[in-house]
Amino acid sequence: MRVGFIGLGEQGAPIAQRIIAAQYPVTLWARRAQTLAPFAKSGAMLAPDLTALAAASDVVAICLRNDADVCQVLAGPDGLIARMTPGSVVAIHSTIAPHTCRMLASEAERRGVDLVDAPVSGGAAAAREGRLAVMVGGSEAAFERCRPLFAAFGNPVVHMGETGAGQFAKIVNNALYTAHIALVDDAICTGRELGLDVEALMHVLRNGSGRSVTMERYDPSRGVRSYVASLDLLEKDIGIYWRALEERGIGPGTLAYTARTSVVLLTQCAKDLKNRERGGVAPES
């Protein structure tokens, strides 16, 4: 299986490295040539354009930031799908709206190309170690064809259902992660007000039944500022989650509202940090 890859950012680069290490013939293409520099001696081929990438690939994996980026590369008469050989596969590892995946899958189907949505969770470290959770939406046949490839960087690799189902699973996951931000911060603040030693409480919570990935990343000296760098992506993902509920006629529950509360807290925190910087006051470290 020849593999093409687009999107060599913080998440995509270690995924591509794992695929290369698994001895797949890999061809890379990037909108920004500088992102290819770390792969100059990796053994991967570098495509000059999308036409060359399509010709060199049986499966093309996409790991871009958002819907607009994915559509810009894949859709329309100048997009990758239009250049791919019938029988080939597009795998979208980006977290985007399920309806965007279904739209792109319809375009791909008209050209005899399969498309699966296969968003991942776990972060760059999990990608480097081959333990990303991979949630796949698409036909059973396309899933089985791609499963060995996804296993190069993921464990578990799970077929969630039809096209878009992988994205549904991912946004539920991300909503839960985001909701934990407000919950973890409130738990630590409450513990402090109860007179508990914060470091001792953190040690207990990280090893007790209340532990979570969000807890692991929480710095009690920084509070919700621990997550401000991720605000843009979290805001995007929670927006997708709310729109998915609306499209399916599902009333928002505790998860939706708590995740939104976390985004509101982070947004306010980011504004406060900017105001301090503009006022010449350095933010607390």
Tokens of 58: 């049986």
Catalytic residue among 170, 236, 271, 274: 170
Q: Is 170 a catalytic residue?
A: yes
Three-class SS of the chain: CCEEEECCCCCHHHHHHHHHHCCCCEEEECCCHHHHHHHCCCCCEECCCHHHHHHCCCEEEECCCCHHHHHHHHCCCCCCHHHCCCCCEEEECCCCCHHHHHHHHHHHHHCCCEEEECCEECHHHHHHCCCEEEEEECCHHHHHHHHHHHCCCEEEEEEEECCCHHHHHHHHHHHHHHHHHHHHHHHHHHHHHCCCCHHHHHHHHHHCCCCCHHHHCCCCCCHHHHHHHHHHHHHHHHHHHHHHHHHCCCCCCHHHHHHHHHHHHHHHHHHHHHHHHHCCCCCCC
Active site residues: 170
